[in-house]
Amino acid sequence: MVIRGLFIFLVVFLFTLTPSAFSKIYYTGNETVILTGGFESKNSFISYVTINGCKYIIKQKKSSNSQLSGPRDAFAAYIAKELNIAHSVEVISLRIDIPVTKNTDQVILVNHNLTSSATITLNGGTTPDPDGGEFTTTMTWREFTIFKNLASTQTFKHWAVLIEDPTNLDGFIQVGYVLLGLKTSFTFGFNFGWKFIDEIINVELETEFGAPDVSALFRRVKLRLQFQHLSESQGNTVRSLYTSLSKNVDPFFLIPDLAVADGFFGRFTSKFQRTIGLSRHVAVPLDFTEDSLGKTTSQDPPFHYQS
């Protein structure tokens, strides 16, 4: 008996920040400091910092003999530590500009570090940096990934996500991806007995005397979905989704259970196998693996301020 609905969200996203640059950072320890993001260039790590309303670009040159697995997180954490602002997370604004209007009824923040007391406001508009005059709503906190199903489809080119998280002890705001687009659902579902696996990967070492040393690397969720007793056309619908994503080339957002408000950003990881039964009924098992939620890196990278 089929009892589950399946929501699939295909990815459309663009993440843009527009800070100003100044030649020198003036910081005495009393200013309000906001970390607003950053990116990785070919030779450097770039981070955006606002101090007392002035926006700065800080550049960290890459070291030729070292690599950072999480440069943005490590860089932000290091700035927070250097400027002694680990408890000064203020309102952060993420600006999203889409080249053309896109139908959007779902917005997702993947792999965030927000606390349950965070306030998240979503604004949409026809001009950059929308203030909520045309459209505004709030997003409910969920651990790891936050998503909002909009009451109606919106077609704005410009979006802003305002985040306030004063109790965040990390000292910075982390959002892995911002996703916007249309959700879709099958008119059929998968069967009872589907498997839900929490996978936590650690590095485990042991001394010659048996003393363990365990460090967390990453965590993720794996799902095994059993589609059975599908009609031929329903089987083709599942196959069309699988082939359009080229198995695991393109990730997508999956809400497997309509009764539980949890979703996962990941990929199909199994081969597409169809079993044709009586009356052309089709059975399809599919494995889905969440993209790793990773680890917030807080170790000190090689760093210096540069004009």
If DSSP states are collapsed to H, E and C, what string results for 193-248? Answer: CCEEEEEEEEEEEECCCCCEEEEEEEEEEEEEEEEEEECHHHHHHHHHHHHHCCCC
Question: Is there a contact between 266 and 43 (Cβ–Cβ < 8 Å)?
Answer: no
Query: Do 204 and 176 have their domain in common?
Result: no
Query: Do 217 and 264 have their domain in common?
Result: yes
The span from the CA of 78 to the CA of 171, in Å, is 10
Residue 203 has pLDDT above 80, yes or no: yes
The span from the CA of 98 to the CA of 158, in Å, is 6
Q: How many helices and strands, by DSSP H and E, does the chain display?
A: 2, 18
Q: What pLDDT does 166 receive? A: 83
Query: Do 145 and 179 have their domain in common?
Result: yes
Query: Do 28 and 167 have their domain in common?
Result: yes
Query: Do 38 and 143 have their domain in common?
Result: yes
Q: What pLDDT does 306 receive? A: 34
Retrieve residue 239's tokens.
């196959």
Q: Is 267 domain-assigned? A: yes
Strand partners, 160: 95, 123
pLDDT band at 100 (very low <50, low <70, confident <90, very high): confident
Q: What pLDDT does 187 receive? A: 86
Q: Is 302 domain-assigned? A: no
CATH number of the domain enclosing 121:
2.60.120
Retrieve residue 152's tokens.
């109606």
Q: Which of 178, 160, 27 is nearest to 106 (CA)?
A: 178
Q: Is 169 domain-assigned? A: yes
The span from the CA of 35 to the CA of 4, in Å, is 41
Query: Do 153 and 43 have their domain in common?
Result: yes
pLDDT band at 87 (very low <50, low <70, confident <90, very high): very low
Q: What pLDDT does 118 receive? A: 92
- Of 35-39, 60-64, 132-136, 296-300, the poorest mean pLDDT is in 296-300
Quick one: average pLDDT of 134-157? 93
Query: Do 193 and 166 have their domain in common?
Result: no
Query: Do 207 and 128 have their domain in common?
Result: no
- Output DSSP code: residue 76: H
The span from the CA of 17 to the CA of 56, in Å, is 12
Query: Do 168 and 257 have their domain in common?
Result: no
The span from the CA of 228 to the CA of 37, in Å, is 45
Query: Do 43 and 157 have their domain in common?
Result: yes
Query: Do 202 and 158 have their domain in common?
Result: no
User: What's the domain range around 121?
Assistant: 9-185
pLDDT band at 242 (very low <50, low <70, confident <90, very high): very high
Q: What pLDDT does 151 receive? A: 92
Strand partners, 265: 253
E strands in the chain: 7-10, 33-40, 44-51, 54-61, 92-97, 104-112, 119-125, 135-139, 146-154, 158-164, 175-181, 183-185, 195-206, 212-230, 252-255, 264-268, 275-276, 282-290
- Of 22-26, 156-160, 231-235, 286-290, the poorest mean pLDDT is in 22-26
Question: Is there a contact between 76 and 68 (Cβ–Cβ < 8 Å)?
Answer: no
Q: Is 56 domain-assigned? A: yes
How many domains does the chain divide into? 2
Residue 45 has pLDDT above 90, yes or no: no
Q: Is 61 domain-assigned? A: yes
Residue 97 has pLDDT above 60, yes or no: yes
Q: What pLDDT does 82 receive? A: 56
Retrieve residue 224's tokens.
């095994």
Query: Do 110 and 197 have their domain in common?
Result: no
DSSP 109-125: EEEE---TT-EEEEEEE
Strand order in the sheet with 146-154: 146-154, 104-112, 175-181
With residue 285 as reference, give the H or E element that holds it: strand 282-290
The span from the CA of 59 to the CA of 79, in Å, is 11
Predicted model pTM: 0.65
Question: In angstroms, how far is CA 116 from the centroid of its own chain?
Answer: 16
Quick one: average pLDDT of 262-286? 86
Q: Which residue's entry shows tokens 């990453």? A: 218
Percent of the chain with pLDDT over 70: 67
The span from the CA of 85 to the CA of 171, in Å, is 6
